[in-house]
Structure 1
């Protein structure tokens, strides 16, 4: 569009008295880029006595109406019937509507960036809210699982023996080698460090007590539970989460089957059986590692090692350690299955919830182990 064409659409005739502003042609979005500079230039030359001729307007849309509102000003736009009597009623209504919209529009104030303390408090608050939500979900899922377990106990036809045995093999039997190796090495390291420190006080014989006490009460069950949290809880979450993403759980529910009974109970029961057995194997392997180190570095024979172990109240420590195993197993399995049910339909969700199941399981295991250790020590057990 040329300058001459723009003057045809918008023209100020100062040769008449009073001066006359004429607007004609199509005031539409397509001409906005060219009309806007002309309107800005003409605004400075318009005074209160100017007369407007809007009777020759062609097509008018909201973009063109916004330019005309800027040209006329707020005082004139609401008095169009006197200023431009030749303007059709529908055009006048459009201009008045756009004028009201521009008049009532207020640029939203820019929000100030929160300070460091505010962000820190917000992060802490969000973390506490997420912790409370996860705790409520965990307690609710525990109740649902226990209810399903009690109901299915009285109906042997609904027991999933095949699934239980398959999970027991995967969880328990396949984990035996790594549990034995890990606990054996940790037992050997504890015995070696204990003998190194205690020998400076002439108390090397108490290395046996250190190995027996630490493994029967704490290390065997704790190492086994942490390993199961990383190995088994993640597997539960990935398996159930993939089923959730593929809508297999929806299909199970559509068939009228209970997804908790079908997917959760066999895994929970399998881990309840497997973790105490693995803990017992871990105790034996850890003590055996300590026995080997004591025999090689301290000249304590296996017979003397077992005699000292028997006289140090090892059976009581054994019961304390074994009592934690079912609790850890139940919580690890519940957390792993719960995170699997939280998965949405994306691979990223499977990965994030698998990570969350491992982190939450390890956190719960260590927290409960610390509480149990304080409780048993205060009770004198």
Structure 2
């Protein structure tokens, strides 16, 4: 009889329910298993150990399962019985059922697919030069595949940005993303840049004091902040703050099949979801870089005044003599490119999310790590390029 679990069942009712039993008798390669009691979700745990012992029985050619003594059965009980049949069947034993009823046959057939799913054993990690080279090869292939996917998303973003009603850009989602990823990031960018600028100024002044050249801390801070540190700190903050959010948003929509729903109604999901975020990142990165530069220089100026006695007027005079337009523009040129890189990586990782929360967490983590790594590498490549062209 097919039963339904009752959430409001009292402990007395559960204790009074006939407990399942499995009695096995092996003789001459024939294993006879007599089953009795109620095989339901509430009681099946009591017989699970006995059933697993019967699954491990060796030297069995025929297994006879007598179901005539079973009172009630649900899918949990049917799955345990089917698991025994599948385990012995994989060893080459023939399975015979006796005393079954029509309801039992329905339940056993319903859980057959679940019982047939075998968890593969964990592969032992191999060590040596060949597995090492294989891991490098797989990493290169995966990186190339992700690069192609990023280029596909970039192309689909540009081609899907055009609206059917003649407007090329929908300003509503664009301004929303600028507000969320740009204006919302100003406090943390200002705080981190001010602290880092102050630390660089203090450490630079401390070391230059031995040579009587504390005034050159202005040159150090000005060039380092405007060329490298301002844009790099901003990119790292945006990668951790906005890149993770983009991956989580797109990944959640993919898990709930909202991305497929956009395709069904005739919209390009890449153009709808990715395009506003990429454009917003390309716009806000130079603006946030300027804010980060001002905050870092302000922090350095305060520390230079307190720690080294360099007044703000002397600080500004020395900075105008130490830096030129190239120092300011070199950092701003990199900012929109880094914003696009962060957006592309976050979108790629979001599109790779599967159907589980574990997959979402894994891709969000991967998005942040890859974005930070790539922007640091790109910043180094820009530094080499600027040095080569004497910019």
Is 1:215 the counterpart of 2:225? The answer is yes
Which of 261, 266, 274 does residue 271 from structure 2 map onto? Answer: 261
User: Structure 1 residues 342 and 34, CA, compared in 2 at 3 Å: closer, same or farther?
Assistant: same
Give the conservation status (yes or no) of the 8 Å contact 1:243–1:249: yes
Structure 2 distance, partners of 1:299, 1:156, is: 61
Give TM-score scaled by structure 1 length.
Answer: 0.69
The equivalent of 2:37 in structure 1 is none
Structure 1 distance, partners of 2:192, 2:125, is: 50
Give the conservation status (yes or no) of the 8 Å contact 1:212–1:314: no
Q: 1:198 deviation in Å?
A: 0.7
Which runs of 5 or more residues in structure 1 are unaligned?
1-30, 38-61, 65-97, 99-110
The equivalent of 1:323 in structure 2 is 333
User: Structure 1 residues 246 and 114, CA, compared in 2 at 3 Å: closer, same or farther?
Assistant: closer
The equivalent of 1:250 in structure 2 is 260
Q: 1:183 deviation in Å?
A: 0.3
Q: 1:121 deviation in Å?
A: 2.4
The equivalent of 1:122 in structure 2 is 134
Query: Which structure has greater helix proportion?
Result: 1
Which of 188, 201, 222 does residue 178 from structure 1 map onto? Answer: 188
Is 1:337 the counterpart of 2:330? The answer is no
User: Structure 1 residues 337 and 115, CA, compared in 2 at 3 Å: closer, same or farther?
Assistant: closer
The equivalent of 1:374 in structure 2 is 384
Q: 1:176 deviation in Å?
A: 0.6
User: Structure 1 residues 347 and 379, CA, compared in 2 at 3 Å: closer, same or farther?
Assistant: same
SS class of match (2:341):
helix
Question: Aligned residue pairs: how many?
Answer: 281
Is 1:148 the counterpart of 2:160? The answer is yes
Structure 2 distance, partners of 1:147, 1:34, is: 73
User: Structure 1 residues 364 and 268, CA, compared in 2 at 3 Å: closer, same or farther?
Assistant: same
Alpha-carbon displacement from aligned partner over 1:7-39 (angstroms, at most 9, x marks no partner): xxxxxxxxxxxxxxxxxxxxxxxx9943359xx
Which of 176, 180, 204 does residue 214 from structure 2 map onto? Answer: 204
Structure 1 distance, partners of 2:359, 2:323, is: 48
SS class of match (1:157):
coil
Structure 2 distance, partners of 1:155, 1:326, is: 29
Is 1:35 the counterpart of 2:28? The answer is yes
Deviates more, 1:124-133 or 1:161-170: 124-133
Give TM-score scaled by structure 2 length.
Answer: 0.67
The equivalent of 2:361 in structure 1 is 351
**What does 1:4-83 align with in structure 2 at a 5 Å threshold?**
33-36=26-29, 63=61
Larger-Rg structure: 1
Which of 166, 169, 172 does residue 159 from structure 1 map onto? Answer: 169
Structure 1 distance, partners of 2:333, 2:202, is: 28
